[in-house]
């Protein structure tokens, strides 16, 4: 169900990421290049993707986003160049499933923030978006994005 919020317990998850800064208008190109670079590196190793690609947003400055672009992987790898080993930390998260175009996701953030406030919880300040289907194969109206806010 769209915009259904819940609290979940996240286990620590090893990831491969590219950390960068960009303006929101450049996101499609930046994400594509980073995902491609990570997958190329994974192809050189014996590691495997074990989950949906994601972006961690460390701020919400649309002119200068501080982001970590990555994939959950099966085991820790050393990284290479701009592709580095990282981790989605363990702990409680508030999550919400958004269905629709990426450029209209803001409403789901509002729903999730209201849910967190109503529960008396405090987010850490990082927001994750997990892309559950492929925009190259899925119509915009059916794109599924899980938003997750780690909680203090």
User: For residue range 61-82, what is the model confidence (pLDDT) as tens digits?
Assistant: 999 999 999 999 999 999 999 9
Q: Provide the domain count of the chain.
A: 1
Distance separating the N- and C-terminal Cα atoms of the chain = 26
pLDDT of residue 110: 95
| pLDDT of 2 above 80 | no
pTM for the full predicted model: 0.94
* Confidence tier at 3 by pLDDT (50, 70, 90): confident
How many alpha carbons lie under 13 Å from residue 4 in its C-beta half-sphere? 4
* CATH number of the domain that residue 77 is part of: 3.20.80.10
pLDDT of residue 1: 46
Close Cβ partners of 3 (under 8 Å, ≥ 6 residues apart): 96, 97, 98, 107, 108, 111
Residue 120 is classified by DSSP as T
Q: Across all residues in the chain, what is the average pLDDT?
A: 95
User: For residue range 24-36, what is the model confidence (pLDDT) as tens digits?
Assistant: 999 999 999 999 9
Q: Which domain holds residue 130?
A: 5-150
The label of the residue with tokens 């800064």 reads 21
Percentage with pLDDT > 90 across the chain: 95
User: For residue range 34-50, what is the model confidence (pLDDT) as tens digits?
Assistant: 999 999 999 999 889 99
d(CA 146, CA 148): 6
């Amino acid at each position: 169900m769209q915009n259904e919020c819940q609290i979940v317990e996240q286990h620590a998850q090893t990831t491969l990421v590219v950390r960068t800064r960009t303006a929101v208008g450049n996101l499609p190109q930046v994400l594509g290049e980073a995902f491609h670079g990570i997958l190329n590196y994974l192809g050189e190793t014996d590691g495997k993707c074990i989950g949906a690609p994601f972006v961690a947003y460390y701020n919400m400055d649309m002119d200068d986003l501080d982001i970590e672009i990555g994939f959950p992987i099966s085991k820790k790898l050393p990284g290479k160049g701009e592709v580095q080993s990282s981790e989605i930390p363990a702990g409680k998260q508030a999550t919400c499933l958004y269905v629709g175009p990426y450029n209209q996701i803001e409403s789901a953030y509002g729903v999730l923030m209201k849910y967190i406030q109503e529960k008396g919880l405090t987010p850490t300040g990082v927001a994750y978006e997990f892309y559950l289907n492929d925009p190259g194969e899925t119509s915009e109206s059916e794109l599924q994005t899980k938003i997750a806010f780690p909680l203090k």
